Amino acid sequence: MCRSHRQGRASQAVMWLECRVLETGCGGRRRSLRLTVMRLPCSFWFLLLLGAGGLLLLHLQDLTETLQQQNQGAKVIFSQVQAIRKEPCTYCPDNDKQSDPAEDSFTRPAQPKQLPVFPWVQHSSLTNPRDITAAHVTKSHRKLLLKSGPLVQQLNADPPGQIKENPDRMTQVQQSRQRLMREVCAKYTSGTTKQTITRMHVSRIFVEDKHKLLYCEVPKAGCSNWKRVLMVLQGLSSSTGEIQHDEVHYGNHLKRLDSFDQKAIIHRLKTYTKVLFLREPFERLVSAFRDKFESPNSYYHPVFGKPIISKYRSNATQYALRTGAGVTFKEFIQYLLDVHRPVGMDIHWEPVGHLCSPCLLDYDFLGKFETLEEEANFLLRRIGAPSNLTFPSFKDRNPNAERTSLEITRRYFAQLNVTERQMAYDFYYMDYLMFNYSKPFKDLH
């Protein structure tokens, strides 16, 4: 019978194989082998089609990314969901949403009203936006940033009096600072997808509509006095000296940019002067620690002090665990560098790259705390502020305490070992690089 099947259907290789199996006389094995042989082509074609589909998807993805990278310009897109501020903060009053008459005319060509002319501003503030999304940068990241050649060099701060005597010097300084920041942003974000501006990115920016000013607050870099200046510019007070500390931080007098609707936010980002003032990162960190943990504080001691002491201090006293008072600088740094912090981040020691998104918003004026009064007064004159308004120099919190200086900062960091100092430097590395602050210790790399 097998010979007749072979002769009648010789063209079917599968049946020929089945007949060869019948000749062996193994009935059970014959049935299983028949099923295997009949199913093998289906499995083979299924795997082949699956592989081809995967290759097609990878090709389409690469093509999409290539088109996105070739697309020039930036599109400002806002999330429909209001961003939630996760970090607890005493100085974060929420403003009610403000309506804006400029919204109705936003679709028509904008006609700016006598905006200050800054010679160093070379392109639109919303061109090619990027955002730094990580504060911690490893050594390998630093090598990537620096491998393509030296970045623009500049002075950290000009000697007092130079700006007043030579206003053109401020133009040169601003050009240098912005060029450096853009180069660092371009290197760090090279090859990444286009970022979109969300409400979270502008949540720390205060709005002064009369003089068309947007100020991003950086705590411990003169932000209290900047808020006083904004209140005077808005006509809420005649003098910065009349405004008390609690009125500045808890009065809820100033509007935040994220309190406006989407069109109003975009309009202000495109037409207002965006201002950012910075401070040496380690010095700012020490200033925040001294203010929040070495002085009585009804918020930071229980909210931050208690969990810090509980996690990082062995044999802590019941008083320390109950009150949160007496956090040491070493314990504070342990908390800061811990990827599993017992309590969240706070704006007073968060990197500026996170607070103000400089790679995304491209600020028009980058000031420095080291020459704060001179640079702030230069800016006030440029935006048309009243001639009698100058930037205040007084210190309203702990006025008797010595201001945090570079020398004081070194004393605090001397309490840490080399590894802790290096990790802290890595934590703020993008701030050091973007704003051209020198390494604070020689043993850092």
Give SS3 for 358.
helix
Mean pLDDT, residues 356-361: 94
How far is the C-alpha of 430 from the C-alpha of 188, rounded, in Å?
A: 9
Residue that is written with structure tokens 């063209």 in the block: 11
Coil, strand, or helix at residue 206?
A: strand
In the chain, the amino acid numbered 306 is K
The predicted structure's pLDDT at residue 50: 73
pLDDT, greater one: 72 or 436 = 436
Across residues 15-31, what is the average pLDDT? 43
Calculate the dihedral angle through the C-alpha atoms of 435, 180, 361, 253, rounding to the nearest 10 degrees.
30
> pLDDT at residue 220 above 90?
yes
- Model pTM greater than 0.85? no
The pLDDT score that the predictor gives to residue 60 is: 54
pLDDT at 246: 84
Of residues 271 and 249, the one with the higher pLDDT is: 271
- CA terminus-to-terminus distance, the chain: 85
Q: Tell me the two tokens of residue 166.
A: 């030579």
State which amino acid sits at residue 160: P
- Which range (96-105, 325-334, 355-364) has the least confidence? 96-105
Q: What are phi and psi of 335, to 5 degrees?
A: -60, -45
According to the 3-state scheme, what is the secondary structure of 99-166?
CCHHHCCCCCCCCCCCCCCCCCCCCCCCCCCCCCCCCCCCHHHHHHHHCCCCCCCCCCCCCCCHHHHC
Is residue 219 within 8 Å of 290, Cβ to Cβ? no
Task: Output the pLDDT for position 285.
Answer: 98
Residue 61 has pLDDT above 80, yes or no: no
More confident residue, 103 or 223: 223
Residues paired with 367 in a beta bridge: 277
Averaged pLDDT of the chain: 76
In three-state secondary structure terms, 367 is: strand
Neighbouring C-beta atoms of residue 333, cutoff 10 Å: 22
Counting other chains too, the contacts that 81-89 makes at CB distance below 8 Å and 24 or more residues apart are 82/199, 83/198, 83/199, 83/200, 83/203, 83/258, 85/200, 85/203, 86/344, 87/344, 87/345, 87/346, 87/347, 87/350, 88/303, 88/343, 88/344, 88/346, 89/346, 89/347
**352 touches 141 (CB < 8 A):** no
**Which residue would you say has higher pLDDT here, 241 or 92?**
241
* Distance in angstroms (rounded) separating the CA atoms of residues 104 and 263: 9
Please check the confidence at residue 108 and state whether its pLDDT lies above 90. no
User: Is the pLDDT at 38 greater than 90, yes or no?
Assistant: no
Per residue in 64-91, pLDDT tens?
444 444 333 333 444 433 333 333 343 3
**Percent of the chain residues past pLDDT 90, beyond the cut:** 53
User: Could you tell me which residues are beta bridge partners of residue 215?
Assistant: 206, 275
Q: How many angstroms separate the CA atoms of 414 and 405, rounded?
A: 14
Band (pLDDT 50/70/90 cuts) for residue 249 is: confident
Of 315 and 151, the structure prediction assigns the larger pLDDT to: 315
Q: What gap in Å lies between CA 195 and CA 167, rounded to an integer?
A: 35
- pLDDT at 28 exceeding the cut of 80: no
- Secondary structure class of 211 (helix, strand, coil): coil
Cross-strand partners of 228: none
